[in-house]
Amino acid sequence: MRPARFVAALCVTHALACASPAHAGVVLANTRVVFPGDAREVTVRLDNRHAHPVLVEAWVERGAAQTRDAPAIVPFAPHPPLVRIEPGKGQALRVHRLPGPLPRDREALFWLNVLDVPPDLPVSMQASAMKIALHTRVKLFHRPAGLAGVASKAPAALRWSLRDGALHVENPTPFHVSIARVIVGDGMDLHGEIVGPFDGLLLPLDAAAIGGGTSSDLAARRTSQLRASRRVAFEAINDVGGTDRFESDMPAATGERVP
């Protein structure tokens, strides 16, 4: 259960799927957390880069997209759930495993949340200044022991095809794969998404290009480029938050899969 909620004038959320949490005053050492299935706890380092002390609240919540067999409760609890960190100091946040069922044949996705609340403003400044609470979220993957394969090779196992005006990607592995970008070239690169275990998704080919480029014929140009190359190049985020590049064959015929 989440601790008591703080009320602040403004709450800014950093969803750190791909980026470093350097914008927050309280910085997490990880951009993602992997919780091994045979572990009782994992430790995440917090550092206060503010020039003032802060109160930090931490909690874990379920991922937005869950399979039918995902747990209804969150079997993780950070400790301490509420802590004061002095400026320039750090704190070890221990995430404990609680009783409760979790899938044994695939990873489960949760979010580790950290809310960084500054001290109250002096009375003389309260009428003209704004107090800001910074909310940071990073993915927490529960990875059961004994899964087939290894997470670092899961991106190479993705199956790609062109389907209904979109790029379809299928994940036949028990691991989540975070796709940072799909490299089409010529200013047509696509933002990626996370593909769940034994799941698939469609990436619209008419979506805005990375960098903000748009075009009325963007989907047609991307489709033509992908069909001509018959390969998909993409970047996936690894366990330490870096990106690795992969290339996969794609069938010439729409809807056909690579075995």
Average pLDDT over every residue of 116-140: 74
Contact 54, 118 (CB under 8 A): yes
258 has pLDDT over 50: no
Confidence at residue 70, expressed as pLDDT on a 0 to 100 scale: 52
Neighbours of 70 (CB within 10 A): 17
Residues 6+ apart with CB under 8 A from 94: 41, 42, 43, 44, 78, 79
Interval 227-255: pLDDT, tens = 888 899 999 999 999 999 999 998 865 44
Confidence at residue 125, expressed as pLDDT on a 0 to 100 scale: 55
Per the document, the length of the chain is 259
What predicted TM-score, i.e. pTM, was given to this entire model?
0.82
E-strand spans in the chain? 10-15, 26-28, 32-36, 41-48, 54-62, 76-79, 82-85, 90-97, 108-117, 132-143, 159-163, 166-171, 177-183, 190-191, 194-195, 199-204, 231-237, 243-249
The two structure tokens encoding residue 201: 């998704």
Confidence at residue 89, expressed as pLDDT on a 0 to 100 scale: 95
Give the single-character DSSP code of 134. E
Higher per-residue confidence, 82 vs 222: 82
Residue 140 bridge partners (DSSP) = 33, 110
Burial of 111-130, coded b for 16+ CB within 10 Å and e otherwise, reads bbbbbbbbeeeeeeeeeeee
Kindly list the structural domains of the chain, giving each domain's residue range(s) and its CATH number in brackets, ordered by start.
10-143 (2.60.40.10), 151-249 (2.60.40.10)
- Identify the residue whose tokens are 């044994």: 104
Residue 33 bridge partners (DSSP) = 140
